[in-house]
Amino acid sequence: MRIAYLDCFSGISGDMFLGALIDAGVSPQIFEDAVEASSVGAKLDISRVSRSGIIGTKVNILVKGEKDRPRATSDDIQSRTGTSEPHWHSHAHHHVHAHDHEHAVPHVPTGLEDVGSFPDDDHGRGLVEIREIIRKSKLSEYVKGTAIRTFEKLGAAEAKIHNVPVEEIQFHEVGAVDALADIVCAAVGAEALGVDEFVCSPLNVGGGTITCAHGTFPVPAPATVELLKGAPVYSSGIQAELVTPTGAAIVSTLVSRFAPFPEMKIEKAGYGAGTRDFQEHANVLRITVGESIAEIGSHTRDRATRVQEETITVLDANFDDLSPQVFGYLLDRLLAAGALDAFAMPVQMKKNRPGTMLTVLTKPEQADHLSQIIFAETTTLGVRQREELRQVLARRWETVATRWGDVRIKVASLNGSVTNYAPEYEDCRRVATEHRVPLKMVMQEAVQAYLRSEQK
């Protein structure tokens, strides 16, 4: 089982997570392609910097060539707010910015579908609109689902704090171009890293206060507290906001458990740098990637088999009156929302009616959410639910070069030997569409490139 461990001894933010992924070997081109594919209208500024003697990768999101859009990065602003990342707020407070910036910063709209316009009005975008923008992008279903869940967690946290329906929450700074790039790239990077599980250390949240639209609050910010419920946190005494709301949402979305440094065979590590350089404290996020050598819970069989067993939830529902058009849309929604798989089989129902049985595979913690989608989108009156064990091979991603561009290869192995490999469909489709070549030709060349690399 391949795992990634997040060492949050200096907290976590969106840009620190991206920097750590790049430093650990994820290609920057993958992020640049994702930003372009989603029509975010931003550019990445990537550099190597030192933080208290530790060299790491620093990522800045450039909007119209600027680093200092709503994300204030100057040290004088940080010394008062403790963070370089803005908050967001409910519709009722949309005429004030999240932080008291020394210089006025114009509002930047979400802008995924109209990135050329940066009006100075205060129009925000709701969660429904954000979902639709991401779904229409040219990203993989995993990336879309992960990005949408991250925004949904941010929205739910803020809605609870202000006691308003989540539909009334408007994405301002956090819904702006730079934050959308952060969240989309985080999802792309998590997919490209090719791990089976993200594990996280206790989080150093920092200290002091922050000044935002609703007044002065102690660190961590209210939204961060809500997002980190159930997570182990502490403060080392540094007077700055170390865990930002976006960082907390990424942890809440990707991390499956919190633990000390796990037993693992380390393959690689990377350091993502924060904006500030503290004295005698390295302001970096470390990610360590490797193969787990620990027992996988009580369901692990003979470890010599090197096959992971995990508990999943299976959802079933029957229909005899659902439009095929609605059914296709339903499958897309379920996969985007995090289903491991979703498929249909023909069945014979009562009164001899031909019908369809929907089956959805999901992680247990996602079962209730996916059941709600089934109820909302279909005519069924009941969803059956059961838990099953499944065995999965160890998997990893490798990137190969074709004459038209890079393509990822998913490689499965047993006892350290490769048992299967396949080019990533979304990568091949993107390359085939951009260069107007047959999809099968791209897939064949990607496989041949992988085989050549294995022979070296």
CATH number for the domain spanning 431: value is 3.10.20.300
Q: Tell me the longest C-alpha to C-alpha distance in the chain.
A: 75
Closest alpha carbon to 137 in 168, 110, 106, 172: 110
With CA atoms as reference, report the closest residue to 248 among 223, 271, 281.
223
**Under a CB-based contact definition with an 8 Å cutoff, are residues 215 and 245 in contact?**
no
Question: Is 421 within the bounds of a domain?
Answer: yes
Whether residues 191 and 60 share a domain: the answer is yes
C-alpha gyration radius of the chain = 23
Q: Report residue 227 as tokens.
A: 């997002």
41, burial (CB in 10 Å: exposed 0-12, middle 13-18, buried 19+): buried
Cβ 230 vs Cβ 250: under 8 Å:
no
Residue 246 counted as domain residue: yes
Last residue of a domain, one of 392, 415, 439: 392
Q: Are both 107 and 42 inside the same structural domain?
A: yes
The answer to whether residue 257 is domain-embedded is: yes
**DSSP code per residue over 76-135:** HHHHHHS-SS---EEGGGTTS-SB--SS--------SS-TT---SS---B-HHHHHHHHH
Same domain, 447 and 321: no
Question: pLDDT at position 330, please?
Answer: 93
> In Å, how far are 257, 297, 309, 318 from 301, measured between CA atoms?
21, 10, 8, 34
pLDDT of residue 66: 59
Contacts of 182 (CB under 8 A, 6+ apart): 14, 15, 18, 61, 246
Q: Tell whether 272 and 288 lie within a shared domain.
A: yes
pTM of the full structure: 0.61
Q: Are residues 231 and 368 in the same domain?
A: no
List the CATH number of the domain containing 350.
Answer: 3.30.70.1380
188, 213 contact by CB (below 8 A): no
With b meaning 16 or more CB within 10 Å and e meaning fewer, what string describes 67-81? bbbbbbbeeebbeeb
Report the pLDDT value the prediction gives residue 388, as an integer from 0 to 100. Answer: 92
* 181 and 225 part of one domain: yes
Indicate if 275 and 368 belong to the same structural domain: no
- Of 371, 392, 413, at which residue does a domain stop? 392
Q: Is 297 a domain residue?
A: no
| Cβ atoms of residues 320 and 378 within 8 Å | no
Same domain? 86 vs 163:
yes
**254 and 372 share a domain?**
no
Q: Could you tell me which of 216, 218, 217 has the C-alpha nearest to residue 206? A: 218
Answer whether residue 402 is part of any domain.
yes
Distance between CA atoms of 375 and 315, rounded to whole angstroms? 12
Of residues 426, 419, 428, the one with CA closest to residue 449 = 428
Tell me if 302 is assigned to some domain: no
Residue 134 shares a structural domain with residue 279: yes
- As for how many domains the chain has, the answer is 3
Nearest to 243, CA basis, from 21, 35, 47, 232: 232
CA 315 from chain centre, in angstroms, equals 24
Rounded-to-integer distance, Cα 169 and Cα 402, Å: 44
Q: Which residue numbers in the chain have pLDDT < 70?
A: 38, 40, 64-125, 171-178, 213-214, 294-307, 415-416, 456
Domain extent at residue 411: 395-455
pLDDT digits (tens, 9 = 90+) for 168-226: 777 654 445 667 888 999 999 999 998 989 999 999 999 999 887 667 889 999 999 99
Three-state SS at 165: coil
Query: Is residue 299 domain-resident?
Result: no
Tokens 């193969």 sit at which residue?
Answer: 291
**Measured in whole angstroms, how far is the alpha carbon of residue 329 from the centre of its chain?**
22
- Would you say residue 143 lies in a domain? yes
> Which of 258, 292, 326 marks a domain boundary?
292
> Is 136 in the same domain as 75?
yes
CA distance 411 to 418: 7
If asked whether residues 252 and 109 sit together in one domain, one would say yes
DSSP 35: H
